[in-house]
Amino acid sequence: MLDLNSRILIFGGGGTIGSSTALHLARKGYRNIRVLDVYPIPSAQSAGNDLNKIMGISLRNPVDRQLSLEAEDAWSNDPTFTAYYHRSGRLDCCGSPDGIEDLENTIAKLKDAGLGHTVEWLDTEAQIIRRVPQLAGSDIQGWKGIFFEQGGWLAAAKAIDSVGRELVRHGVQFSFGDSGTFQSLILSNDGKTCLGATTKDGTQYIADRVVLASGAWTPSLVDLEDQCCSKAWVYAHMQLTSEEIKEYADCPVVYNEDLGFFFEPDEHGIIKVCDEFPGFTRYKMHQPFGTPEPKSVSVPRSHARHPTDTYPDASEITINKAIAALLPKFKDKELFNRAMCWCADTADANLLICEHPRWKNLFVATGDSGHSFKLLPIIGKHVVELLEGTLQEDLRESWRWRPGSGDARKSRRAAPAEDLADLPGWKHDPATDTKTQANLTVQ
């Protein structure tokens, strides 16, 4: 039985789902919470440690809809989060036949859900430009669009930082660095119950519950029986001049499922651009805790630990294609902060939040599938319900342990992810970068 004095460890507590879990435990009065992470909150390698993320209502299934409506309410009303929600609105737009069909399906689903009044169908180029004048110079002939009044973007890293400050006020304990880095579980003599965990520096933490919310790293830490596949997505930044900042201030998030998306400039005039593609894996032989021998696992390689990593040459082409279509006047601007950021896909794109069937009292909270930052204010509430045994039945069903139920490498994306081993251009380690080596030789 869990009570307010129970000792609870949250690995990945400097990231999105982990920090939210700690927040909701603390708000309920739990007194023995320890947040552990490789980096201090907001963790430098969290997928949520970013300038911005899209906030929107997901209609994919009833569970996603419920969660995103709860999240919209929390971003709008919870004082820990309101300052980080920018209600710029969002334009989903497309010119390809498949893309237009998807937009039509979205409108139909919104109407079915009683949300038709929150959006506007944009049937012509002129209607799109009326809503987003910044697209005036773009070649959008034949494009259709949906304008979402609700929604916009979230100042992601700042929001996790706000959670961190609230955790400090609640007296939550923290372990970062080697003493916060998960290494292995401490098991009972019969090997069936998790009694705590050991970290990289050898510290042993005894606990009543262990939550592993370590995002894309989770499949390389414990055996998830191939239910999650870690994949990287990419972004790049560009700097606007003061005149350009004025022009793009309050621009809605513009999203095109064939090309990518961009956000209005932040307070320093930086625009983030992402392309749309099925993600990159990084398969290697690796032995997660609980597997008898090494197996093939996609293992993240974080920008925080490898700051010279950028992204594959192929991404430079697709990001520039998105810029040429969506931001043509900036097509010659220099890009910087090219980076990969890691998520954990499941086969059905639903979360994986459940007790591990092999080890009682170990709970995994992962499987974000690239669309879960928006859940930051509320996802932890449901993780706490799981720990307390009160999780709603449909959420429990959607997030259950489900090996063999599909291919996480493909997930619900247009194609399987390509592997970074086959893609040049992203790795610039001094020892492997031929250009740098050449320079060294010359000197």
Q: Which residues bind ligand FAD (CB under 6 A)?
A: 11-12, 14-18, 36-39, 43, 45-48, 53-54, 180-182, 213-215, 217, 221, 233, 235, 274, 341, 343, 366, 368, 370-374
Alpha helices, H only, 35-147: 62-77, 97-112, 125-131
Q: Is the peptide bond before 42 cis (omega within 30 degrees of 0)?
A: yes
Smallest distance from the beta carbon of 437 to ligand FAD, in angstroms? 30
Smallest distance from the beta carbon of 237 to ligand FAD, in angstroms? 12
143 or 263: CB nearest ligand FAD: 263
Smallest distance from the beta carbon of 124 to ligand FAD, in angstroms? 27
Strand runs labelled E in 216-291: 228-239, 253-256, 260-262, 270-275, 280-281, 283-286
**What residues does 352 pair with on adjacent strands?**
366
Main-chain phi, psi angles of 126, to 5 degrees: -65, -40
Residue whose beta carbon is closest to ligand FAD: 15
Smallest distance from the beta carbon of 443 to ligand FAD, in angstroms? 36
210 or 245: CB nearest ligand FAD: 210
Q: From CA 134, how far away is CA 122, in angstroms rounded?
A: 15
156 or 327: CB nearest ligand FAD: 156
90 or 125: CB nearest ligand FAD: 90
What single-letter DSSP state applies at residue 193?
Answer: B
413 or 436: CB nearest ligand FAD: 413
What's the gap between Cα 145 and its chain centre? Answer: 25
Smallest distance from the beta carbon of 414 to ligand FAD, in angstroms? 17
210 or 274: CB nearest ligand FAD: 274
Question: Is residue 147 within 8 Å of residue 44, measured between CB atoms?
Answer: no
Smallest distance from the beta carbon of 242 to ligand FAD, in angstroms? 27
**What residues does 206 pair with on adjacent strands?**
196
Question: Is residue 315 within 8 Å of residue 232, measured between CB atoms?
Answer: no
Smallest distance from the beta carbon of 84 to ligand FAD, in angstroms? 13
125 or 263: CB nearest ligand FAD: 263
Smallest distance from the beta carbon of 199 to ligand FAD, in angstroms? 7
What single-letter DSSP state applies at residue 241?
Answer: P
Q: What residue has token string 């005894």?
A: 206
What is the token pair recorded at 370? 């690239």
Count how many residues are written for the chain: 443
38 or 297: CB nearest ligand FAD: 38
Pairing of strands 280-281, 295-298: unpaired
Main-chain phi, psi angles of 224, to 5 degrees: -105, 10
Element at 196 (helix H, strand E): strand 194-199
